[in-house]
Structure 1
């Protein structure tokens, strides 16, 4: 298969999955849905977080509530002297552009081009890795970072309003850390523990399994022999490869909000001399909390 014919096949594939836009290639609406779905399915945290569709480069996350008592004793014929006003707060998603360049060799294209679902395979391959990278960005993003990707936004770990270190708990005791995190969260947020998660590095989750195993109970046997998700005081413990070593993150999964601006672009860049085609993917994203006060980060666990 010569390079010219291969390039024609690449362009044909791209035409089937994109719509033209001033020389660029926007994913068609159906393929955008496929791309975004694959992104979230590639990572556990993004799958549990709340995605907001962004029709422009910014979107507000509004919350409203009453911080104190609104009921008062009533007296017939008398109007209450005080009126309650709700607290209204807004966080804003401000999308920043990120880029991925995926080089696919001619042999890979030749192996797949005859398959009817090649375009789906292409999108899934790119979106799967994009999802992993976005989870890292949304967790570890820090505008002060020297990392060119992580410096694009401030992520969830930096934006969390509550934080403890190894000085606040026994850094060798995983349950001591979990307890200190629960103590550090304003109690009004802990009404429904089933919505909350301890997101931890793999080593911390594994250490907690060892703690349960050492107790010699049925729960300890289950922790040792199955991959079922564990829980601590009614809150699920989930490991993520994107979490830094020695760090834990306690938050309701629905409080994690991220936005993807829907104008996702994929452009092929043929490099015939190298026998490969670069597929350049660009999208605009951001992450925030609905309420940053309902989140706490623990750092300094040593095990």
Structure 2
């Protein structure tokens, strides 16, 4: 079984009140995830607010996670963009020590054709010394990487090992699962449809809610991978309200509110993102207070 089967989590970048990177909080979050049983960690993805980080800050985040992880779990590094030459240059000049794969988002804003997307990822894969996981998230990129493009990449390029599929289209995900080459990973990028995707044959998830409630979410995914739909859905329905809430006012504002309620990190974000409003913050805190101990005790 691949080291990227199961639950990966897209780590946030916690900030102090002065907007600097909070390394101590990031270390706590890494420990929280590992102790909760997640299978791997994703660093500097969208949830990390990487678009607002300087090159120096990105290096700080990388080294903090590598140190806190201490070799316990596989690490995936987010490396992507809408300028292919720049992404290729970053892959050539970045020290990938300590990482096991990269996660690379489909080019945003430019709205390339399917052929353009194919050629972009062909160049990325050729430049990468690590295996590549594609990332399809039309809600952020304004273009959908269609199944035929993904399958073409999967069949043509050995270094492309999977896709984080976040189109929110279960039928599209099922087409990928049905037609994919053996060993190619179809990974959910949407917490709410993770379980249906896993039960349909998906490899797991790169999750946001999973870093807030790692034990419960990883157990749900494992039940799904084992084909135990009854136990998996029991956990899924217990977490549904929390999943809805953390995305209600955008990511990562919601999950940072969870971390504040858990006492792991402050809920500071960098503009143009802002923290959740008072009403949502109170609802999230209420869920954490009422459910965290019950969830962790296994009495869900």
More helix per residue: 2
Structure of higher RCO (CA pairs closer than 8 Å, 6+ residues apart): 1
The reply to whether TM is greater than 0.5 is no
TM-score (norm 1): 0.22
TM-score (norm 2): 0.23
Kindly name which structure, 1 or 2, has the bigger radius of gyration based on alpha carbons. 1
More strand per residue: 1
